[in-house]
């Protein structure tokens, strides 16, 4: 029977890899999800064929409960709440990997220093991913509204990390040959691991959250891969390695997009209290929805830059309605996306796709930046730090060197914003004070709706 199980596992591994490959393109992403989903169903079903498998009733109950909750959540969750859903589901994967190791230690099934080391590493990484993802969920959901930084934060991080690792080493040494560990040491190890995830994530603000979610996703993948080795399950090994590798690469790309090293995100996070040096000259100039509609209606080219403000307001459908009205009047409209716009990788792309914006109208930073000098209007909707020119000019700014969308180089810039406050990084935006920039205040939903009304009157 095991030949059949291993054969199915090989097919599952191929499906996972093909699915992930397809997800790299928006056009093929849906089919990629379907392929990976089929692989997951096969991997779950073939598990029941493994000789000696016990607790089949509990497995069925877990599958029904977990599948039912996931199906319901997938149906009711709002697109604007997708980042926190991704965060908590990712954390569940890390927590499951950590629990697997705990159960194996309790059953005295961990034999040898290699298996023991991987079990401890999987437990540590999985626990950090779980508790860190819970904190990320609380921040994204608005339950934890402020970044909390302890006195001597970095020293606490290092000391707690070293203590946890040392305890893990002792657990491995003490369990060699017997496969079990002192229950008190094991409990203490998991408590410290969970605390490390909490303390590492608490100081991180919204500006760094996309990188953190991606990093925790990579952690979960590594934990699953390690525990797959402990269980001797090739599917878990392959799936964990694929997720861990892709998550690591994505994290590096996201960190590069912010011009911030990953260690800088963890140990010197942008908390929302940092400020760029120096005062910004000039003042913000307000405009009406009628003025904004007229300026865009009689333009040749408009570039729309969506940000988290659009997501919070759920305004993506209104934005696309506005874009179609402009196109009907002969205006060229494109969407410019910064890699870290929003609260998770690809957040803006997901929202625009959900609103029906064609993929060929959505461009990333490197593709679109050269077009801003030839653009009549750059429309910034709820974005802040990703269009802040101080990233190019102010060496004292925490975001100095971060690649930005060149909205300030457009002939005119309209900024839709709820108020006059700074963004999640706490940095004042010089773009808002530019001579060619005007502010349209209000939630994105309301402001864009007012612009649509005025565009209809002008048509």
Please tell me the pTM assigned to this model.
Answer: 0.79
Residues 29, 22 contacting (CB under 8 angstroms): yes
Q: Which CATH architecture has domain 289-458?
A: 3-Layer(aba) Sandwich (3.40)
Residue in 104, 123, 223 with CA at minimum distance from that of residue 165: 123
Residue 286 per-residue DSSP state: B
Tokens 């490959």 -> residue? 21
Is 406 annotated as catalytic? no
CA distance 260 to 147: 18
Q: Give the β-pairing of 437-441 and 332-337.
A: unpaired
Output the pLDDT for position 211: 83
**pLDDT tens, the chain, 459 aa long:** 787 888 898 899 899 889 888 887 777 888 998 999 999 999 989 888 888 777 888 889 999 999 899 899 888 887 777 788 888 988 999 999 898 888 877 776 666 778 888 888 999 999 999 999 999 898 888 788 777 888 888 899 999 999 999 998 888 888 766 656 778 888 999 999 999 999 999 888 766 777 888 889 899 999 999 888 888 888 888 889 888 998 888 888 888 877 777 777 777 666 555 444 456 667 889 999 999 999 999 999 999 999 988 988 889 999 999 999 999 999 999 999 998 887 777 889 888 988 999 989 999 999 999 999 999 999 999 888 899 998 888 888 778 888 999 999 999 999 999 876 665 556 788 999 998 999 999 999 999 999 999 999 987
CA distance 125 to 103: 16
CA distance 87 to 82: 9
Helical residues (DSSP H) of 23-148, grouped into ranges:
29-47, 56-76, 82-106, 113-140
Domain with CATH 3.40.50.1220 in the chain: 289-458
Output the pLDDT for position 178: 61
> In this structure, what are the phi and psi dihedrals at residue 363, rounded to the nearest 5 degrees?
-130, 145
Query: In 3-state terms, what secondary structure has residue 363?
Result: strand
Give residue 98's Cα distance to chain centre: 22
Output the pLDDT for position 276: 45
Q: CA dist 238 to 155, 219, 228, 265, Å?
A: 36, 15, 8, 28
Tokens 């039912």 -> residue? 68
CA distance 375 to 119: 56
> In this structure, what are the phi and psi dihedrals at residue 88, rounded to the nearest 5 degrees?
-75, -35
CA distance 211 to 350: 17
Query: In 3-state terms, what secondary structure has residue 415?
Result: strand
Query: In 3-state terms, what secondary structure has residue 116?
Result: helix
CA distance 180 to 168: 13
Residues 26, 13 contacting (CB under 8 angstroms): no
The pair of structure tokens assigned to 254 is 């996201």
Read out DSSP for 77-89?
Answer: --GGGHHHHHHHH
Output the pLDDT for position 306: 95
Task: Write the CB contacts of 111 (distance below 8 Å, at least 6 apart in sequence).
Answer: 177, 179
Output the pLDDT for position 446: 94
The pair of structure tokens assigned to 206 is 């919204």
Catalytic site residue from 208, 385, 394, 406:
385
């Amino acid at each position: 029977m095991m030949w059949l199980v291993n054969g199915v596992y090989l097919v599952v591994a191929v499906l996972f890899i093909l699915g992930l490959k397809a997800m790299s393109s928006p056009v093929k992403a849906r089919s990629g999800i379907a392929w990976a989903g089929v692989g997951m169903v096969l991997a779950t079903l073939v598990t029941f064929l493994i000789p000696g498998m016990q607790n089949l009733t509990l497995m069925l109950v877990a599958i029904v409960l977990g599948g039912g909750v996931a199906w319901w959540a997938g149906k009711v969750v709002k697109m604007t709440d997708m980042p926190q859903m991704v965060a908590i589901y990712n954390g569940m994967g890390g927590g499951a990997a950590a629990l697997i190791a705990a159960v194996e230690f309790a059953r005295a099934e961990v034999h040898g220093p290699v298996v023991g080391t991987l079990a401890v590493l999987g437990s540590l990484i999985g626990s950090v991913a779980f508790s860190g993802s819970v904190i990320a969920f609380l921040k994204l959901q608005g339950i934890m509204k402020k970044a909390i930084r302890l006195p001597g934060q970095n020293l606490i991080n290092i000391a707690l990390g070293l203590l946890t690792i040392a305890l893990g080493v002792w657990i491995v040494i003490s369990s060699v040959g017997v496969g079990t560990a002192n229950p008190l040491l094991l409990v203490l190890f998991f408590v410290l691991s969970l605390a490390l995830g909490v303390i590492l994530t608490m100081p991180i603000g919204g500006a760094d959250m996309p990188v953190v979610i991606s990093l925790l996703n990579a952690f979960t993948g590594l934990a699953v891969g390690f525990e797959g080795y402990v269980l001797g399950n090739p599917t878990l090994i392959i799936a964990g390695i694929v997720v861990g590798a892709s998550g690591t690469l994505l994290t590096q790309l996201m960190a590069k997009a912010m011009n911030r090293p990953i260690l800088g995100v963890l140990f010197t996070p942008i908390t929302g209290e940092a400020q760029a040096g120096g005062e910004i000259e000039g003042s913000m100039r307000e405009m009406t929805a009628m003025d904004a509609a007229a300026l865009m209606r009689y333009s040749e080219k408009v570039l729309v830059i969506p940000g988290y403000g659009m997501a919070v307001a759920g305004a993506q459908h209104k934005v696309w309605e506005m874009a179609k009205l402009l196109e009907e009047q002969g205006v060229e409209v494109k969407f410019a996306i910064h890699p870290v716009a929003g609260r998770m990788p690809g957040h803006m792309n997901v929202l625009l796709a959900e609103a029906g914006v064609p993929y060929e109208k959505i461009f990333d930073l490197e593709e679109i930046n050269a077009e801003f000098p030839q653009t009549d209007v750059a429309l910034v909707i709820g974005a802040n730090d990703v269009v802040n020119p101080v990233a190019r000019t102010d060496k004292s700014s925490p975001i100095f060197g971060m690649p930005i969308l060149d909205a300030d180089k457009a002939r005119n810039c309209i900024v839709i914003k709820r108020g006059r406050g700074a963004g999640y990084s706490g940095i004042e935006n010089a773009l808002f004070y530019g001579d060619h920039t005007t502010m349209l205040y209000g939630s994105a939903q309301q402001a864009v709706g007012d612009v649509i009304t005025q565009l209809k009157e002008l048509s």
